Amino acid sequence: MSLMTLSIEPADFEDPSLGAFLEAHLADMAPQSPLESQRALDLAALRQPTVRLWAAQKDQRIVGTCALAVL
């Protein structure tokens, strides 16, 4: 059995691959989910001081993100 090893670190907002990953996620979600069910934040919203964002990477490639926001 092969295990997947991920590194999870605070997101680097200066990394262009983060913006590309988030844009692709929003674009993929748009036709699949009704607007009222889309809960993802864009890059500008994720940069707010009340939000924390982490990125999961495998082989130095972003494969997921997780955010916590004060509501």
User: pTM for the complete prediction?
Assistant: 0.82
**CA pair distance 65, 53, nearest whole angstrom:** 7
Query: Amino acid identity, residue 39?
Result: R
Taking CA atoms, 23 is separated from 4, 29, 47, 70, in Å, by 25, 10, 14, 22
pLDDT (0 to 100) of residue 57: 96
Give the other-Cβ count within 10 Å of 45's Cβ: 14
Total count of residues recorded for the chain: 71
Return the pLDDT at 34: 81
Confidence of residue 14 (pLDDT cuts 50, 70, 90): very high
pLDDT on residue 1: 66
* Euclidean distance between CA atoms 16 and 12, whole angstroms: 9
- Predicted confidence at residue 7, as pLDDT, reads 96
pLDDT digits (tens, 9 = 90+) for 21-70: 999 988 888 788 887 877 788 899 999 999 999 999 999 999 999 999 99
